[in-house]
Amino acid sequence: MKVVHSPLHARHDGGKELHRGELVPCFEMPVRADYILKAVERAGFEVLEPRTFPQESLLRVHDAGFVEFLRTAHDEWRALGKQGFMLPSGFPARGLRRDYIPSGINGRMGYYAFDASTPIVEGTWEAALAAAHCALTAAALVAEGEKSAYALCRPPGHHAGHSLYGGYCFLNNAALAAQHLRDRGFARVAVLDVDYHHGNGTQDIFWERSDVLFVSIHATPETEYPYFLGYADERGAGAGEGYTLNLPLPRGTVWKEYSTALDAAMDALATFSPDALVVSLGVDTYEGDPISAFKLAQEHYPLIGQRLAGLKRPTVFVQEGGYAVDEIGTNVAGVLEGFLR
């Protein structure tokens, strides 16, 4: 399996996030990608740099004003004499103007963000764009006939919506890959999201569409981030009604229950019968993850890969979360090797 990776990911570094009431160094750190890269090289996978794509590819899933904000936000910040990471401190919640975009940088940051755990630093745009290009390149490889490809994306993407960033995500890499496959003639595309957290951004982007099925197995938003999306009663709207499937599980979920949910997800995917599959591959379901509470062990990741291979469709893997950095490479390579076995 070909791996697409860019060293530019390291430009997104040096920020802090608001975590349980405290500003702490980001869990989403550059060494994550370095360790995954080592593990896939050790496994013998070929690693390629991403191709570049026109700005229009981003606008297939994202709002133009949002993309422009991400591209220029930190330049504006520095032009005001500020430096270092930028975090929003006010959001358009109930009772406030929700659709007005303030001209000032702090108001605009709050408008486009949905949390204070996703700092923007000087190199964030460069890294996010490179990650998007990794996902688009992996999708292009599959469109050109590869049976599978892995986009080693950092920063991740599945929390980023049409015009919304948060959850360490800026551009939705998996949604871009799915849309690219649609644009290259794959009539039906499915996205399976196995990250610990609900992929609210991907759900948002494809909510009203019947050509892209979104299926997600994640920790219940009753207690887990992102709290305000990912419940089982969310099933899509309009033409997309019935094309979103959420399978929330409680904190403490072990392999037996996870495996049952994975069976249900695979059944839904088989019924939809996609022409291609995109997997939002988070490994923050691991028992050692510092911000998550599922109990999957290393031995379970190859089993997940094997199960995904059973669908027998061209498959693009896109890296999402996973914060137990010492084991992140083994767990990711485990899924990919299990898929190929």
Catalytic residue list: 159
3-state helix, strand, coil in the chain (%, to 5): 40, 15, 45
Shortest CB 102 distance to ligand Q9C, Å = 24
Residue 315 neighbours by CB under 8 Å, 6+ apart: 142, 147, 148, 149, 276, 277, 278, 279, 308, 309, 339
Q: Measured from the CB atom, is 69 or 196 closer to Zn ion?
A: 196
Residue 119's nearest CA partner among 183, 26, 30 is 26
- Figure out which of the listed residues 234, 284, 289, 337 binds ligand Q9C, where binding follows CB under 6 A: 284
Q: How far apart are CA 208 and CA 83, in angstroms?
A: 40
Tell me: does residue 156 bind ligand Q9C (CB under 6 A): yes
CB of 319 to ligand Q9C, least distance (A): 9
In terms of CB distance, is 225 or 258 closer to ligand Q9C?
A: 225
Measured CA to CA, the distance from residue 250 to residue 224 in angstroms comes to 9
Going by their DSSP bridges, the two strands 22-25 and 16-19 should be labelled as: antiparallel
- Dump the DSSP string for 78-139: HHTT--S-B-------TTS-SS---SSHHHHHHHHBS-SS--B-TTHHHHHHHHHHHHHHHH
Tokens encoding 188 = 């039906």
SS3 213: strand
Binding mask 155-194 vs Zn ion (x if CB under 5 A, - otherwise)?
A: ----------------------------------------
Instruction: Work out how close the CB of 189 gets to Zn ion at its nearest, in angstroms, rounded to a whole number.
Output: 22
Residues 318 and 191 sit within 8 Å (Cβ to Cβ): no
| Angle between the N-to-C axes of helices 64-79 and 105-112, in degrees from 0 to 180, rounded to the nearest 10 | 140
137 binds, among ligand Q9C, Zn ion, none (CB under 5 to 8 A by kind): none
Q: Which of residues 191-210 bind ligand Q9C (CB under 6 A)?
A: 195, 197
The pair of three-digit structure tokens given for residue 116, joined into one six-digit string? 């204070």
- Helix axes of 124-143 and 173-183: crossing angle, nearest 10 degrees: 40
Q: Which phi-psi region, left, alpha or beta, contains residue 145 (left: φ > 0; alpha: ψ -120 to 50)?
A: left
Which residue's Cβ lies closest to Zn ion?
321
For ligand Q9C, give the closer residue by CB, 28 or 272: 28
Looking only at residues 208 through 247 of this chain, which bind ligand Q9C when binding is defined by CB under 6 A?
A: 225
For the segment 16-55, give every residue that binds ligand Q9C (CB under 6 A): 19-20
The residue range among 49-57, 67-75, 161-169, 302-310 that interacts with ligand Q9C, by the rule CB under 6 A, is 161-169
Longest dimension (CA), the chain: 55
Nearer to ligand Q9C, 25 or 238 (CB): 25
Pick what 45 binds: Zn ion, ligand Q9C, none; C-beta below 5 to 8 Å, kind-dependent: none
Q: Per CB under 6 A, does 119 bind ligand Q9C?
A: no
Interface region with Zn ion, contact rule CB under 5 A, candidates 80-88, 119-127, 177-185, 319-327 = 319-327
Of 180 and 197, which has the nearer Cβ to Zn ion?
197
- Backbone angles phi and psi of 89, in degrees to 5: -130, 10
Q: Binding residue for ligand Q9C (CB under 6 A) from 15, 161, 167, 201?
A: 167
Which of residues 6, 57, 117, 244 is near ligand Q9C by CB under 6 A?
117
| Binding of ligand Q9C by 320 (CB under 6 A) | yes
Q: Footprint of Zn ion on this chain (CB under 5 A)? A: 195-197, 282, 284, 321
Q: Footprint of ligand Q9C on this chain (CB under 6 A)? A: 19-20, 117, 156, 159, 167-169, 195, 197, 225, 282, 284, 320-321
